[in-house]
Amino acid sequence: MVERMKPRVLVLRAAGSNCDGETQFAFQHVGAQADLVHINRLLQGDIRLVDYQILAIPGGFTYGDDISAGKILANQLKYQLADQILAFHQSGKLIVGICNGFQVLVKAGMLPRVDTTAEQSVTLTFNDSGRFEDRWVELTANPKSVCVFTQEMPERVYFPVAHAEGKFVVQDSTVLAKLHENGQIVFRYCRPDGSEPTYPDNPNGSVDHIAGICDPTGRVLGLMPHPERHIDPTNHPQWTRRALRAEGDGVALFRNAVAYYA
């Protein structure tokens, strides 16, 4: 019997990344081979993106979030690695950006659709609270989304956020309407009872309470909350007071990515 090859995940690192280890662990936990790769190794050609099936851009504060959050790393992808990333996407592979990674994908022209030459139509900007938000939030996972990462995921999940520039905004109402029409809205903030949130349940003031979107193919996902920080039920600070589940809510997202290659 031939053993199935594990999907290979490239977890992209740069100066200021700080969730790369957790992201690597999350993918390994569900059966992938995950490598931490510094962007300089891609730029120098020591590592080839084509040799991987999944690209993960983790959270952190790449390059200190100078200029704006994720902008410098986004420019490296857009102007130095665009050909590789476009070929990677066109070959049917998966990309996920978490928190700072979401900011990078948006500013590199990889969300809401992969087009590094298009005018940016959405962004992530400063929280309405004017401060860094570090808290656990309730989310609804859109069952009508085309996103590969959330198929058959529970409709309600619980992840932490940790960001200062997490407010999702759109260029105009037409952009928002297309996100809805195409099934690209993946996660939305909600209250514990599932109803429409106000602050702090929507921690940043995002338009339409949007916490994550995908591209029209469903193979590129960006989200502000951190699924890699809820892999085990004991990751939650109130785990002794909550009914323990078999696994944390974030596992399903990473398992779906690996199952895509089954």
**Which residues are tagged catalytic?**
99, 226, 228
SS3 37: strand
- Provide the token pair at 119: 């005018």
Residue given tokens 């993106």 in the structure block: 49
Q: Is 63 helix (H, G, I), strand (E, B) or coil?
A: helix
C-alpha span between 23 and 100 (Å, rounded)? 13
Which residues pair with residue 168 across a beta bridge?
124
Would you say 101 and 168 are in contact if contact means Cβ atoms under 8 Å apart? no
- Spatial contact of 78 and 109, defined as CB atoms under 8 Å apart: yes
